[in-house]
């Protein structure tokens, strides 16, 4: 459903800069759901900094990856893929940054980009080899599974 007023962006866009981390997280997830499949470049510009900024919580960064995965689902968008890969590489250098449940959502966001696209994910799978943390292996499995789903 399209609306010229763009109410989802009007309500959630300003919350991306909110001081409250939970409010920021809700805005990121809401934008992902609202614009799933839309491939909107303005959302790429607004959500990518949330992924790559290591000062952001891992929860917010990971859910921004999922949101961009939803927005650019099955598009093989290289900019989104590079942002997620860069973040995984940078965060693996920080002790404990990829521990826990939340980092697995980076893999989900990456996998959504290649949903049903089969061999288009080969370059990303090769790039995931540089991630030595166990989440890298999980990401490879997730991307390959979603690509051939």
pLDDT at 1: 67
First to last CA, the chain: 26
Average pLDDT over residues 66-95: 97
The helix-helix angle for 58-71 and 21-34 (nearest 10°) equals 10
pLDDT tens for 89-138 read 999 999 999 999 999 999 999 999 999 999 999 999 999 999 999 999 99
Work out the average pLDDT over 24-33: 98
| pTM of the shown model | 0.96
């Amino acid at each position: 459903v399209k609306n010229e007023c763009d109410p989802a962006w009007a309500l959630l866009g300003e919350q991306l800069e909110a001081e409250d981390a939970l409010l920021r997280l809700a805005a990121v997830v809401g934008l992902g759901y609202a614009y799933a499949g839309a491939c909107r470049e303005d959302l790429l510009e607004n959500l990518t900094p949330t992924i790559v900024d290591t000062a952001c919580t891992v929860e917010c960064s990971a859910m921004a990856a999922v949101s961009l995965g939803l927005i650019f689902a099955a598009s093989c968008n290289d900019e989104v893929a590079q942002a997620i890969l860069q973040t995984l590489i940078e965060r693996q250098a920080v002790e404990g940054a990829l521990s826990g449940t939340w980092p697995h959502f980076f893999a989900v966001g990456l996998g959504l980009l290649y949903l049903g696209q089969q061999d288009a994910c080969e370059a990303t799978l090769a790039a995931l080899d540089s991630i030595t943390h166990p989440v890298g292996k999980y990401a490879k499995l997730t991307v390959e599974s979603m690509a051939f789903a």
